[in-house]
Chain A
Amino acid sequence: MLDFNFNEFEMENMKINKVGGLRIFFVALLLCTVSLSCKKDFLETFPETSLSDKTAFATPDRILGQINGLYDGLKSGQHLGGRFLVYSDIRGEDFIVNKPNGVTGLDTWRHNLNSATNEVVNLWNTAYSTINQANVFMKGIDDNPGVVSSALADQYRGEAKFTRAFCYFNLLQLYAKPYTMGNGSNPGLPLRIQAETTSANNDLARSTVAQVYAQILKDLDEAEAAVPSTYATAALNTSRAHKNTVIALKTRVYLAMGNYPKVIEESNKIISATAPFKSSTGVPMQLEANIATVYGGTYTGPEAVFFLPMTDLDPPGTQNQLAHYYTAQSAGGFEEFYLNPAGIFANPVYAPGSTDARKAFIIANGTKNFVSKFKKPSPYTDYVPVIRYAEVLLNAAEAHARGGNLVRGLALLSEVRKRSNPAFVFPSAAVDTQTALINSILTERRIELIAEGFRSFDLLRLGATIPAKSDATNVAQAVAPTSPAYIWPISAQELANNKLMTPN
């Protein structure tokens, strides 16, 4: 019994020691870990996938990256990467809606937009986002001198102004009355030329159309002086603005303003006096021998004045892609819009027996015909032809014709036509008078530039009624220049937040 009791006592003792040790161990462990874990920077966390604004201008590569970012902003599928071109074409009479879908332009096609329709809101957002990117960039490069040479900084400022001017110009084409209507006296856009990074400055009234054009031209003139004549590679020459790119855009801007002498003046800088027409300075520009090359090759030929590059990793995005809208399902498209048989498709260029090379851009599905200029399969990496030398020639042709120089007008027109149909001779009735020649040029624009975003632009700058169009089930009535539907409504979001904004 005694032994047993003794053992029990021993055990109790051991237990007590063990318990005491555990307790001390427990407290010590707690204190240790608490003190270890009290890392000073525990609450200092930073993103690993985005850069701080403090370092965005720290290296030449980052500054160049931002320049690329500005072009990438232009390239948004909501803007020049796809939809802006689509909107301009489908407002016109050359296309009929095939898939009546509110997401893919149905209400633009039939002039049934309101201030909250998605395209009205999204294009406004996207273009202004790029404008602010340019403004923020220009402020940043001023605030961070010495990272790149001042010459390079000037060039970058020029490129930023080019993107900003392009955005304002495109916005004017849809959200404001044409310059030619009242010489730009109508309400234009809120003119934002300062970097916006805070909650201030929500309210800004609209400048007039003329004031916005003045800013566009100021930006483009300054850009022309600042950007290089040429870049190191053909890819850069077609995807970034050089002097000839800026000049080419200016021919479009002056055409929109109806300022034909300036179109002539600018176009003369990049079109030679005699055929074959080409640029004589800077990046060489001229028509491709075969128009198919423009859409099928490297996208870096002499005709590609400004093309937006697409890759698998940087595509236009769902429901923005030109091929998705226009080409036939058999060619990988979604057939959102088909060619109006009563539109430009009725032109003899597309008739049976025509040998015009541009007829090859038509693909049929049953009774409906589709434009097949854009044909890369999903994710649809066709480069977007934003400025093409053919357009510059036609801009110039029209300006010369309107200025009375019918000979040069016809020569420029023929350059475009004969590239696709060398044997073609314009009948004299089509070119002998100024009016006839202008009409021929306007028609040529519809053929040459179809699905590249020019139809609404051409109708509006000339103050023409947007013609009616219809098929068995879908109808869009004509829209006269006096109708509110002639231009787009202002985005509801802008009206809600900018107290000085006025609706259209």
Chain B
Amino acid sequence: MPGVSIVVKGTTVGTLTSSTGTYSIRVPEGRNQLEFAFIGYVRQTVNIGGSNTINISMVSDQQQLGEVVVMGYGTQSKKDVTGSVVSVSGEKLKNQPIQSFEQALAGKAAGVNIVMPNGVLNNPPVFRIRGFNSISLSSYPLIVVDGIPVYTGDASGTNAAGNALGDINPSDIESIDILKDAAASAIYGSRASNGVVVITTKKGKQGATKVNYEGWVGFNQATNLPELLDAQGYVNIKNEALANIGTPARFFLQTLADGSTVNTNWYDVAYRTGASQNHALNFSGATDKTSYYISVGFSDQEGFIRNNDFQRKIGRVNLDHKLTNRIKVGTNFSFTNTFNKAPNTGSLPGQAFSTVGLGRLAIVLPPNVPAYNPDGTYHMNGGAIGFGANNPAVASNYPNAEVLLQEDKFTSENNRLIGNFYASLDLVKGMVLKTSYGMDNLLTENISFANRLQGDGFSPNGSATNTYSRNNRWNWVNTLSYQTTLASSHNISTIAGYEEQSSIGSAWGANRQNVSDPFIEVFQGGFGTISPSGNGLGINAFRSVFGNVNYDFNKRYFLAGSFRRDGYSGLATGQKWGDFGGASVGWDISQENFFKDSKLADIISQFKLRGSYGVVGNINIGDFPALSLYGTGLYGSVPSLGYSQAGNADLRWETSSKTDIGINLAFLNGRIEFDADYFYNDIDNLVQAAPQSPSKGIPGNSITTNIGAMYNKGWEFTLNSTNIENDKFRWSSNFNFSFIKNEVTSLANNNADLPGVTSLETANRTRVGYSLGQIFVVETAGVDPATGERIFVNRNGQKVRFSFQRPAASRYLFLEGANAGLVAPAIDAVADARIWGNSIPTYYGGFDNNFKYSAFDLNLGITFSGGNYIYYGTQAGLRDQRFWNNEAGMLRRWTAPGQTTDIPRVVYGDNTSNGSAVPMSANVYKGDFVKLRNVSLGYTLPAKYLGKTGMSNVRLYGQATNLIVITKYEGSDPEVSVNGNSNLAPGVDRNSVPLGRTITFGLNVGF
């Protein structure tokens, strides 16, 4: 065994074993014992006697290797934890074709729900720990990397998504510990309400330098795109819609000079097969004084969306050094350059109805019109796509997607430094004073250019916007910890600390319009105008004291408590400080003698009960919500000042009381582990952007107020098992299942409903007595077989049929009853809509299987989720009877009396019957799914083939993600969220690009 440290006991004379495990050492006279040490192994002391050769077998130290959980400001053996914590090893992230680590957490941990919103590279996933824990504030967990609370969310200011967590190299991560209940997270106090994710990066391990390489190449394609009408189908349907209002045909096939007919598949314009590569190389090792981990990483990923690229270059140095026996210093330091590039995909929050969104353009553009004219110029008509052979009266007002892809440019580039420096001092035995200064500096350059020919740049004759943002955070933590064992049975560990954190966000930029020459495509070129864009300046600060005590009696009875007092700058004087804390108890029955003596002990190796309660907070309220403000501006060219924010000096922390009761069971010496938890999060004092009657004229129609309440409760189960294990074959699995129920119990303004807005459309509503963000639509009752008209059900439960063909005043007619055929009141998108179902899944989980046979390994990762509805708004567009292209399913539209179908008679111009004007239940589907998320097959080269290459480990593998989805959902993928991490409007699929499928081939080599 290489790298074992050997010291002559009582001296400083020492050596390390060679790569073959041999050693030699000169022993000074008078000494006769050797000490053998290696991290993770039992330290052994051997008498030398008269022997010249001493062979030792190192024995692994179960106690030491027992899994360790990184809690706030310290670590704890997993066996001792009484809070609810789930750990995911960095191994699980390895080799995944992802941009940021949390994308790989889907299905890996009970209570953790990850939803990939769509296939835009580096788009932040929806990340929820035990549900949605806020209404108006973020529900995104706190992410702590090596002790530094880092920036999260989309850092980009352009159409290119730029998840701030994409600046962390997944292959640098040693472990992810997810703190779910108050006992585990209370030490993070006011920021722990959404759960805390503690990331620990890799450290060097005792021994000679290890070199490790991981690399893969991959291919990425769009999956399950809705099938569209081709040119002929489009011409037929649209002319039929015209004929139904007595208008002659206006849509025609275009025949080119070579006799061919134009039949453009706009998917081919918008999407591609993206090729990606990823390389990670690290060097690590440690002597008894210094440990080091140095890594470099390069990732170059192409999305399946044209022009969607992600590139990351990263370097990391983690260094720990014993300055003396009592003083340790160290640093964790990473620098990242991340480059995100994307067209306007219409798939980021706020973009759903953009007329230049690629996801939408690919489905609405007419297939009987080409992207290019025969002479190679773009096919255009003013600012929109050309009309081909169609009558100009029905010209599309959407731009030619090809022009946007060729001429526009949207990028966002991060330069990111995340690092800390720490020093610790052992004061007396067990007592350590530690100081750590960390910083997260995130600099982002955003570049947008919208071309002068088509799209958003058409009217301004070319528009360039450059903005630069600087987010600087420093964080300084000082702790005093003490650990001791009294009377050999009472284990006590405590920590007390003081922390300060300051975050400054500064952004500035400008927009330039009217290019001097078509050649100009960059901000720095000649333009006609310049005006400010993307400016902002904010600051906030935390000051905190905290403490924590863990006690156990013989590892049998456990008691723990933590406390934190946080001060936050954004609250008014007198309200700045908040107290948070949690406590937990545990009882490891398997340590009781009566249990050990019973027969059960033969089967059950651990049987631990635990419970916790605590109060934590959420303070994502922004920088200055307490203040009433006046904003400066211009009236033409003279300065103006206007009331811009109604502040709330009474604003307090949003608090969340969390209860958790859990059990840990292990059978057959840990071969099977079963954990179960019941939790109840009671969120009170909800900070809500309390809606105000718009007639009051309050700026933004809202005031940040503590009002409202909600709870999340549920069950979580995890089963880890080694199902089969013999010499040749091993099958182990992790199965986890979470149930969650969310209910809003009180809201502002006498429990007024809160709309959940998807840009121009409102298909969600939050109402007391229901879960957050319910799907809210007008009920439809199919298509009237007699007339082919859409049947709506109005607020009074009456069925009304709709035809766009009739005059405005009589479009709605009663379908049945005494009033049948008489004019009915028009359907109103709000007054006639009703709560349809919850948009948040009520259960989710994963089933991860690892098989190993001889040198082969196979991983099957399955995730599932359900109990929710999805509003498939895209379908409204796919059936809209303006000049838009439609889905192939339109061929089953109503055409003859008596026909039973789900698609109404087509009437040109009709945007109501299929849901564009009014969100309707016909476009709502159940979101239940089971997904084969990941399959990988690997082969590890037997050692005999490695010979003297110096390589210790070589593994080759192939991998596929997102292979199979079993669902009744009609859209591309039930894993979708066009509104990203929105709390109020989840579960909406509107005009966005689908998810991709990635096939990768990779190589792991260790030296």
Contact = CB atoms under 8 A, between A and B. Distances in A.
Contacts of B912: 112
A480 B807 CA distance: 11
B290 to A, nearest CB: 17
A467 B405 CA distance: 43
B999 to A, nearest CB: 40
Nearest to B809: A483
A51 B643 CA distance: 9
A49 B627 CA distance: 13
A185 interface: no
Interface in A458-501: 468, 471-480, 483-485, 489, 491-499, 501
B627 A47 contact: yes
11 contacts: A19-B327, A23-B425, A26-B327, A43-B543, A45-B569, A50-B631, A99-B397, A128-B695, A483-B809, A485-B808, A496-B752
Given A43-B576, A116-B829, A379-B529, A101 B917 contact: no
Interface string B633-644: 111111111111
A224 interface: no
A241 interface: no
Interface stretch (B104-112, B530-538, B859-867): B530-538
Central interface residue in B500, B570, B631, B642, by most chain A CB within 10 Å: B642
A484 B825 contact: yes
B540 interface: yes
Interface in B658-694: 690-694
B705 to A, nearest CB: 6
A479 B569 contact: no
Interface in B820-854: 825-831
Given A312-B529, A496-B691, A477 B808 contact: yes
A132 interface: yes
B693 A473 contact: no
Interface string A41-68: 0111111111111001000011001101
A97 to B, nearest CB: 10
Given A37-B500, A477-B809, A72 B543 contact: no
B327 A23 contact: yes
Given A15-B324, A492-B829, 16 more contacts: A46-B627, A47-B623, A47-B627, A53-B627, A56-B643, A66-B642, A68-B639, A100-B909, A103-B353, A334-B458, A378-B459, A474-B909, A477-B809, A480-B809, A496-B753, A498-B695
B316 interface: no
A26 B698 CA distance: 54
A190 B831 contact: no
Interface in B616-641: 623-624, 627-641
Given A42-B543, A483-B808, A485-B809, A52 B629 contact: yes
B624 A46 contact: yes
A71 B635 contact: yes
B885 interface: no
Contacts of B540: 45
Contact of B391 (A42, A49, A110, A472): A472
Contacts of A310: 636
B752 A112 contact: no
A333 B916 CA distance: 27
Contact of A135 (B514, B644, B697): B697
Contact of B393 (A65, A73, A103, A471): A471
A488 to B, nearest CB: 12
Nearest to B696: A196
B786 interface: no
A476 B397 CA distance: 19
Contacts of A436: none
B630 A53 contact: yes
B829 A115 contact: yes
Given A47-B627, A62-B641, A102-B911, A494 B695 contact: yes
A274 interface: no
A435 interface: no
A84 interface: no
A493 B755 contact: yes
A225 interface: no
B641 to A, nearest CB: 3
B634 A497 contact: no
Contacts of A421: none
A65 B632 contact: yes
Given A43-B543, A133-B697, A495-B830, A473 B629 contact: no
A481 to B, nearest CB: 11
Interface in A90-124: 99-103, 107, 110-112, 114-118, 121, 124
B567 interface: yes
Contact of B692 (A30, A118, A202, A492): A202
B808 A378 contact: no
Interface string A290-312: 00000000000000000011111
Contacts of A474: 909
Interface in A13-36: 15, 18-19, 22-23, 26-27, 30, 34
A131 interface: yes
B640 A66 contact: yes
Contacts of A69: 633, 635, 640-643
Contacts of B830: 114-116, 492, 495-496
A177 interface: no
Contacts of B435: 30
A22 B322 CA distance: 13
A278 interface: no
A152 interface: no
Contact of B513 (A101, A367, A379, A489): A379
B636 A43 contact: no
Contacts of A202: 692-693, 696, 749
A62 B642 CA distance: 10
B646 to A, nearest CB: 5
A493 B749 CA distance: 12
A103 B460 contact: no
B251 to A, nearest CB: 10
Nearest to A497: B693
Given A203-B693, A485-B809, A309 B529 contact: no
B569 A47 contact: no
Contact of A311 (B460, B536, B636, B703): B636
Contacts of A378: 459-461, 463, 513-514
A45 B692 contact: no
Given A65-B640, A68-B640, A199-B692, A50 B632 contact: yes
B53 interface: no
8 closest A-B pairs by CB? A132-B697, A309-B636, A477-B807, A65-B641, A69-B642, A378-B460, A68-B640, A68-B635
B967 interface: no
A22 B749 contact: no
Contacts of A52: 627-630
A201 interface: yes
Contact of A204 (B250, B392, B634, B693): B693
A201 to B, nearest CB: 7
Contacts of A496: 691, 752-753, 755, 830
A100 B395 CA distance: 10
Contacts of B825: 484
A366 interface: yes
Nearest to A65: B641
B692 A19 contact: no
A174 interface: no
A367 B635 CA distance: 39
Given A43-B543, A197-B698, A27 B425 contact: yes
B701 interface: yes
B858 to A, nearest CB: 51
B697 A129 contact: yes
Contact of A42 (B500, B633, B699, B753): B500
Contact of A497 (B623, B691, B827): B691
B247 interface: yes
A22 B327 CA distance: 8
A203 B692 CA distance: 9
